[in-house]
Structures are given as C-alpha cells and as structure tokens.
Structure 1
C-alpha cells in the first residue's frame, strides 16, 4: 500500500539516488579494494546460515541435511540463539504445511552477494547482503520458485577473536513475504487446515490455463477479449527476477507490489485512465519527476487499485476462492500491522501452476517468482483476509 507520505518519501529517495549516481559518475574511478579476512569470515558465516536455514523445507537428502546441520552448529551470539531456533522451527512448520498442500522441494540453491564492504567498529560488525534463493519442485518439471531479498546482518566479536552472527534485519517488504515466521499452536492449526483445504480445492477446481480465459464473466463485469494474458504473465515472470539487478523498465516504489502488477496488467492491454492522481476512477503511470506524482494512487496502492479495478472500472470481479484462480488472475491480502485493518496490503499475480494445480504467485516488493500460494496462505491464515480477482 502507498499513501501520500510514502509517495513523497519514494520520490525524495529517487532524487537522492539520482544525485548520488551523478556525483559518482563524475568522480574518478577507484580501484576495488580486496576482501579483508573479516569480510571473508562474515560472508562465509552468512552463507552457511542462510543455506542451512533454507534447506529445512527440502525433502530428505544428505545434501540438505548436511547444510542444515552446519547452520545449526554455527556459533551465534547468545542474543540470537532464541531467534535462530524460532526461525528454524518456522521452516520446519512450513515443511509440514507444504506436505499437506502437496508441495515438495527436491533442492534449494542460495546465493549470497555482499552489497559493499563489511563495516567494523570495535567488537561489532555489519554486513549488507543480497540473497537469491531458488527452490526446485520435486518429482516434476515445474518452473522453480525463487526470490531475491536484501538483509542487514550484525555480528559480534567472540571470545576467541572471531565473529558470531547476532542479528538479521530483512529490508524488503514485510519480512514474511520471503522469510516464514514461527506460528503459535492456534496459528499452526489454522495454517494446516488451510493447506488441506487448498489442496482439495486445487484438485477439484476449474483448470484454466488458456490465456483466453474470459469465456465466463461475472455480472456487470466488462469483458475485454483484447486482453493478452500471456503478455501479462510474460512481463511478471521476466521482471520478478532482478537479473541483472534493477532491470525493471519503470521506477520502482519503495514497496513495489501493486506498481509491479499494474505494469503487468498494462502489458496485457489494460488502458490507462487519466484523472486526478488521488481519484479512485483514475489509473495511470507517467514517471513524472519530483514533485509531481509519478503515478495515480490506484496504480501503486493496494486498496486504491482494488477500488479502481473492482468498483470503479469493473475490470475485475471477485472469485469465490483460490480454487477458481486462472492464469494472470490477481490475489491480494491483508497484512496485520502493515495495511489498514480490512484492507489489502499486498498484490500479486498467478503466473503458473504446479503439477497438482497449486497456483504459483509472482510479485514484488521482494522479487519473487512462482511461489506456491499454499506458503503464502500458511503465513496469513489467522484472520488476514484474501481477495481473489478474475482479471
């Protein structure tokens, strides 16, 4: 979701970024400094930890088990031990939930890239990293699920002089868009129930993968046969992967989920509607420089987009549940503590299905490609509302 304050901050950040880039471009090139021993030790500890944590959700195998064991044996600060245990238990919970939903992974590959040099001060150190993780679905030729997210890692000096991990701060979007959070017993029970229901619904639901899916429309919905759903999915899958980094053909918002989906819909034929940038009946992107708004609130704000798409333009209609989803449909959900109560805080698109017909979702603010819907519902199954839209 984006409000006026968020838009102003994003514009200021863009202006500052542009100024910094200009200054750097006009400065003499500087030779890259070689990694120090501290840099190498910090990044190696971070790689060991994330690789092992991510391997917990992979089906049994020596490689995954060995990676997890190394992460569990990694020395961490006393203040981080309980956090580490909760993070790993959250992965164990997700593994069980995935099994109930019929989602299994056979392998995982985690790449950790340092962003700049480590910063040390006395007995503390900080390291910024970019994590790119890809999961391979077991027993099928499904396209992998991957995500990219940034973290700030803190380290403390151990008694022996080495470094131990003391904190992980995830920078992109609400953290559980990519990193699961430990569920309490009631939450876990609700997530397990939701996974079972989702699997049953996926098995019974209508299998719509034809991009020309609009044969059946809801009452009062404006059907547009000219929409190109393949183009929507092509855009979403291409730019859900930031390789090369920041290759999106537009200016990102700070939280970029709805902006991203609006661009995907435009790629498939949604026409812009000009008007006052705060109006629910307008929908446009211009990329204006500060201080002008670069897009309408309906283009980049989750609840604003919903009011435009469903209520004002009637370009979408609500489905009864996830079992009715088709390719290029849009899903939104509420995020407690982030979005206003009863309103969506995140927007994403169906870009594929597993071999068992589980919808796979692609989205920003964490750059995520083909994440099973079961994982997302598991993290938000205790009262956070979901909306399913036929586009």
Structure 2
C-alpha cells in the first residue's frame, strides 16, 4: 500500500455516416448508410461469446508467458493468438501491441539468462470473472494465474514461481457485429508481473490528514474489503487488542531515509544469523507462502482502494507471525506499529511509514546490497526514484549461491527472484532491510 502521507489510466470510435433521406412520390425512403454497408443491431454476448472472450484472453497471456520460457515451449513456431479461431479476433492495433510485448519479453528472457535465471516451463490459465456490455462495447474482467518452472541453471533454484494478475479486456463490435479485442488494461493496484511490460503507474504524493473528529482512522480512503479464504485462517498473535488514541502522541519528528541498496553481483558477504534471536524467520516465510494468493481473513485487504494495494500490510502480517510485537498508539504516529482486523497503524500498511518505524525502532538494519537479503528480510522499491517508496516484499527463500526470492501481494506473487525484479525494473531504486 502506498503511504497515507506520501501516497503516490491505464477506443476506437465507430463513425457512422449521416443518412441521406429523399422523398419520392410523397413516400419517405429508408436511409442509405455510408458505403452502402448495413450496420446490424448491437450484438448480444451469450455464453458462447463469453467463452470465446475467455479463450482469447488465455491465448494472449499464454503467449506472453511462453515468450519467457527457454526451449521448445518458448520457441514455438506461431503464437496462439496468430492461429486463434472462434468468431472473436484481435484488432490490428491490439495485434501490434501484442507483437511489441512479445518482443520486449523475449529481450527480458535474454537479460534474465545473463543474470543466471531461466524458465524451463510455463503454465497460464485465465478465468472470466465478469462481463459488462454496453451497446457495441464489452468489458471482460479476468484473472490470470501463471506458474513458471525454474530451469536448473545453478541447480539450487526453487522449483517454481507464480503469480495471480487481474486484467480488463475491451471488446468492440464492428459494423457487422463481429467482436474484436481492442484493449487490455491491468487492474491490480500493485505492480507488474514478470510477463507484463507496461510501466507501473506512480501515484501522486498526497498527504493524509487526521479525521475531523479527532479519532484515528484505519485508512484515509474507503474501508478495506476482506477476502474469503479457502484455507484455515491463522489467528493473530496473542498481543492485546490495540486501542487507538483519541489524540496524537508525541512522535519523533525525523523520518529516517534508508540508503539505497546496490543491485550488483556478487554482493559483499553479509550472512544473517538465525540463532540467538527472538524472531522466527522461518515462520515469517511460512506465513507469506501460505497466504500469498489466499488471503488471511483475520486482516483487512487493501487491494482496490487506490493506495498501492496490500503489499506492506502483507509484509507486516508476516513479520508479526514471526514475532514482531505491537507498539500501540495513535495510527498516524509512525513510531507505533500495530494491526488486526479492526485497526492498523500507518506504519503497518504504508510503505514509507513502515520504513520509518522499522529504522527508528531498530528492528531493522539497512543492507548495502539487495542480494544480501535473506529469509525474513524486507525489500522495498521506488519505481520512479522520486524519494517516495512504492512497494514492499518479504524474502521467503534464498538460494545457496546468494539469490533472494521474494513473496508479496499486489500483484500476488510467490518466490520471484531479485534478479527478475532487477531485469524488469532496471531504473528503480531498491532498499533492503535486515530484520
């Protein structure tokens, strides 16, 4: 979630000629349409058409996944979208954008290979969540679920990485009532998956102010929603219920600016000690890998509220599962840290406030290089280098040769390598924290 105090869219017009009407022998003739082509009534979207929308979406995102795969799957003669049949097709403009995306992803595959990462197999499925039809335009909301199998380049990579991404596809009917895919928009409030190519949108920095009543609010915008969980929920720690103060407490006026972490390899040695600490780093990783796609309903979900998503909220939950204790107080006081089903401090859910709290409390130490991060450590990113951090992730795996793999929300992602992040966002600033 973007910071409350520093929180930072993604048509083709059908032109119909005016009808020329003439009167012969007192009888009005029917209009003749431009170029003599009859325009059919607005087409209906039945179950068969919806299924075709879904299949074309599946082909689009499968092609993008395949572009990242090394070997036979990635070198297929023709993308699925080139041979797609079923009464719905891509417009020429969208086909050009798809070709451009595949070319960009092919370059990303080469860059990843230079960084020591390859994928031997990919699997993408798309489900149709909703369809909204207005006249000759249909918008389809879909969920993409992708799994990529790591090739054994060094032999110690994890088995797979995966993500869930949400998209809105726009279909437009031509004059004959034939549907064409004319637009694709990412609808996640977080940041891009490895097979996406658009730049993440940076929200303008907006300062949040206390509510007029003087009572602490859990969020500056609308109340968060809660996702249902298919798996048993994990109860919040035995920390006492957090009470929000009716007025702000006196806070440290400094906002420590974490140093940027280098992204070069090899990184200087900085091993993490997993003994002699009160924190359970494996529990942090286990929590994150359990709830990366199926959310824990003991906490609110900040996706879809325009504040950057659920990323920092999810990181805080994981740290709490591994032993971080609440520091009760006023929600806007970034020297406090707490979160449960009812209320969350800004430092629990905001990217920058989390960094300020973590450093002021001495619960973290900044790392000089992002490749030094280990299990339970936190990595943040500033995509446009404007000084306001945008995204938080937690390390849940580290390969023996020194590559951290992060798990995060918004977009829901499992074990994505730091190498992939560096390849996908070469102009971003990285921050790493030893917990």
Among candidates 94, 100, 103, match of residue 89 of structure 1: 103
C-alpha RMSD over aligned residues:
2.7
Q: Tell me which residue corresponds to 1:390.
A: 434
- In structure 2, the residue matched to 1:220 is none
**How far apart are 1:89 and its partner, in Å?**
2.0
Q: 1:310-329 residue pairs with structure 2 within 5 A? A: 310=359, 312-329=360-377
- Superposition pairs of residues 98-109 of structure 1, within 5 angstroms: 98-109=112-123
Query: In structure 1, what is the equivalent of residue 134 of structure 2?
Result: 121
Report the TM-score, using the length of structure 1 for normalisation: 0.75
Deviation (angstroms), 1:280: 1.6
The partner residue of 1:273 within 322, 327, 352 is: 327
1:148 Cα shift? 0.6
What are the ranges of 5 or more consecutive residues in structure 2 without an aligned counterpart? 8-44, 200-262, 304-308
1:252 alignment partner in structure 2: 301
Please show how residues 331-342 of structure 1 align to structure 2 within 5 Å: 331-336=379-384, 341-342=386-387
Query: For residues 149-181 of structure 1, what are the alpha-carbon distances to aligned partners after superposition, in whole Å with 9 as ceiling and x for unaligned?
Result: 111111123577543221111111344355442
Report the 3-state secondary structure (helix = DSSP H, G, I; strand = E; otherwise coil) of the residue aligned with 2:380: strand
Equivalent residues in 2 for 1:127-138 (5 A)?
127-138=140-151
CA distance, structure 1, for counterparts of residue 297 and residue 100 of structure 2: 35
Q: The residue matched to 1:232 in structure 2 has which SS?
A: helix
Taking structure 2 as the reference length, what is the TM-score of the superposition?
A: 0.68
The residue aligned with 1:55 is: 66
Give the conservation status (yes or no) of the 8 Å contact 1:211–1:230: no
- Per-residue CA distance 1:181-201 (angstroms, 9 max, x = gap): 269xxxxxxxxxxxxx74x41
Relative to structure 1, the CA distance from residue 180 to residue 84 in structure 2 (aligned partners, 3 Å threshold; closer, same or farther) is same
Unaligned runs of 5+ in 1: 7-33, 184-196, 215-224, 289-293
Provide the C-alpha distance between the structure 2 equivalents of 1:281 and 1:72, rounded to a whole number of angstroms: 55
Q: 1:59 to 1:206 in 2, by over 3 A?
A: farther
Q: Which structure has the highest helix share of the two?
A: 1
1:361 aligns with 2:377: no
Q: Is the alpha carbon distance of 1:72 and 1:342 closer, same or farther for their aligned partners in structure 2, counting shifts above 3 Å?
A: farther
Q: Rg: which structure is higher? A: 2
Structure 1 residues 35 and 240 mapped into 2: Cα distance closer, same or farther (>3 Å)?
farther
Alignment partner, residue 240 of structure 2: none
CA contact (8 A) 2:371 2:418 kept: no
Q: How does 1:78-227 map onto structure 2 within 5 Å?
A: 78-116=92-130, 118-139=131-152, 140=155, 142-157=158-173, 161-181=177-197, 198=264, 200-201=265-266, 205=269, 211-212=274-275, 225-227=277-279
With over 3 angstroms needed to count, the CA separation of the structure-2 counterparts of 1:71 and 1:175, relative to structure 1, is: farther
